[in-house]
Amino acid sequence: MMLASTLRRAFPKTRSQITPIKQLSGAAGAPADVCNLNIVSSPFPPIMESTHYKPVPEFVSADWENAKWSNKVAIRDGNTGETRTFSDYNTYMHNIASALRFEYLLQPNETVALLSPNNIDYLPICLAVAMCGSKLTPLNPLCTESEVTTILDRSSSKILFTHAKLLPVALGAVAKSKTVKHIVVIPDVAKDTDLPSGSVDLQSLAGYKHAPNLTESVNEVHDHVKDVNNHPWLLPYSSGTTGLPKGVCLSHGNMIANLLQLDEVEGMVFQIDHKLISPLPFFHIYGFLASLLYCGWRGQELITTSDRFDLPHFCKLVEDHKPERAHLVPPIILGLAKHPIVDNYDLSSLDMIISAAAPLGKETEDAAKKRLDTEIKQAWGMSELSPLGTMNPDYNIKTGSIGQLVSSTYGKILDTETGKSLGPGKQGELVIKGPQVMMGYLNEPGKTVECLSSDGWLRTGDMAYYDDDGYFYITDRIKELIKVRGFPVAPAELEELLLTNEHVQDVAVIQVPNEEAGELPRAYVVLKPTSDANEVTDQYLKDWVKERVAPQKRLDGGVLFIDQVPKSASGKILRRILRDEAKKELE
């Protein structure tokens, strides 16, 4: 607790008092005339220009063979006890890249998918793909077979890395996929795995034997990446502001910019000898960039978990390894605030908890701070922002706020009726511009245009306002996305699935609040006239969906039967009406 309190005394005034709000009329890349006022700028120092960036693997691994880093633990799996050093990271990255490039003939701009829980080799795999100039699509390990197949084919993935625990799902998905040619299996340290025909063990790639000049040849693949802003690397799937999941193209430049932006907020307080504990899934952009990639670049030990989250186990890891910082989501912070078992553990090493991925209520934030005697601050972002957009600095945290815009970033609040930008304290849609804004959606130019303007402004779909110090507050969401324990769930995806049921004539899905999960999906269903309501019950439909989707997509918010789904004249579902009805019901 000493470092944070010292910094707050050293910086009694907020940086946002420097110039949180600028008038940018007439500036290059400025928005349309109707909304060129009240643009909020970042109070943090600007980051370096992208012309100086190297490709991500070279940028992140620059010090891995440094004498101070090489034998230092880079990552620790709190479930298996496995570790990797930074030297291991370096060796595995180069060897896997060599195998991919020269054995599997992976070409620049081809795609590799990764279906795995958190694993100590997750980062070397991802960076090896980047070394080949290829794209990497991380997949939720809880995805069903059909969900995996859909993303494999949409991303045109040529190679699938999968964990041995997920082989049944992976093999079923690949059998239906039109694009996957090779499977690489990450071994399960708890038991031996019989490799299916045609697959290969990750260790054979990690130990790939090559001539001394072969690694140099792999590095030379990056000669074509002259402009890191125009070459995609990461391809997470997101529902964006609406609709079905889409591939978010994030360039090398996007990711490096966001690392530098995060470092302007965290670098001074998150020291090189400090540890971070993060049970966040690495397939999720928050855990991937803020936890995995940032610690890999900064040379800090990351403590993670490869199994389902367990609160007592998490507390024991904090007690045993004494990390100074934690990356968490609101449901975990709620458990730390209220669960009696927390009192059995010493969590005093935690100096700061960062919460993101979903809104954290002020009451929960205050309760956890008081109980743990630690600081908690919020950050905000989305896949389309690589993901970080705003963050509270350690030395001036505003409870309930998602913080200030990160370096080299501009924001504005647009009136949803007029499109004009609004001043402090007025609520509208949050729109962001900065070097971390995505390239666009993969093969979805129409969807890209819907949310990304020609001069680089990204519509976030979040309702928000900012105060006189340039701190932002999220109040609601225009977008239809449901956030279940921080995981995005697209209503359109569940609606599309339910419409394949022989008894369902029409359906609308909305979110309902839940203290533990944040939000849960609820379906409003119109049955076909021929269906027997006594047989097609709410439980029947909940169970039917449960068999076909990942856990966060289950209809745990309930199923209600209605006579007609409210729609506009153009046929668009009016989810707002259903949300208002649900709100009255809950009140």
- Predicted local distance difference test score (pLDDT) of residue 217: 66
Residue 418's pLDDT is 87
Q: Which domains does the chain have, with CATH numbers?
A: 2-52+239-477 (3.40.50.12780), 80-224 (3.40.50.980), 484-586 (3.30.300.30)
Radius of gyration of the chain (CA): 24
Cα four-point dihedral sign 46, 50, 51, 54: positive
Separation between Cα atoms, residue 33 and residue 35, nearest integer Å: 5
Exposed / middle / buried, residue 46 (Cβ in 10 Å: 0-12, 13-18, 19+): middle
Count CB-CB contacts under 10 A for residue 317: 21
Per-residue pLDDT of the chain (587 residues; tens, 9 = 90+): 333 433 433 333 333 333 344 433 333 333 333 456 899 999 999 999 887 888 999 999 999 999 889 999 999 999 999 999 999 999 999 999 999 998 999 998 899 999 999 999 999 999 999 999 999 999 999 999 999 999 999 999 999 999 999 999 999 999 999 999 999 999 999 888 889 888 999 999 999 977 666 666 666 666 655 678 888 999 999 766 666 789 999 999 999 999 999 999 999 999 999 999 999 999 999 999 999 999 999 999 999 999 999 999 999 999 999 999 999 999 899 999 999 999 999 999 999 999 998 888 888 899 999 999 999 999 999 999 999 999 999 999 999 999 999 999 999 999 988 889 999 999 999 999 999 999 999 999 999 999 999 999 999 999 999 999 999 999 887 877 898 988 888 888 899 899 899 999 899 999 999 988 999 999 999 999 998 888 999 999 999 999 999 999 999 999 999 999 998 766 778 888 999 899 888 87
211 secondary structure, DSSP code:
-
pLDDT score recorded for residue 52 = 82
Distances (CA, A) of 294 to 88, 140, 258, 270, 290: 17, 20, 10, 11, 5
User: According to the model, what pLDDT value does residue 13 have?
Assistant: 33
> Under the phi-then-psi rule, with left for phi > 0, alpha for psi from -120 to 50, and beta for the rest, what region is 400?
left
How many CA atoms lie less than 13 Å away from 419 in the CB half-sphere?
5
Token output for 529: 């006239």
What is the Cα–Cα distance from 402 to 424, expressed in whole angstroms? 15
pLDDT of residue 209: 75
Count CB atoms within 10 A of the CB of residue 201.
15
Angle at 474 between CA 137 and CA 285, to 5 degrees: 15
Q: Give the angle 212-217-221 at the CA atoms, nearest 5°.
A: 155
Taking a C-beta distance cutoff of 8 angstroms, is the pair 283, 140 a contact? yes
What pLDDT is attached to residue 247? Answer: 95
Please, are residues 101 and 221 in contact by the beta-carbon 8 Å criterion?
yes
Per-residue tokens: 185? 């299996």
CB atoms within 10 A of CB 354: 25
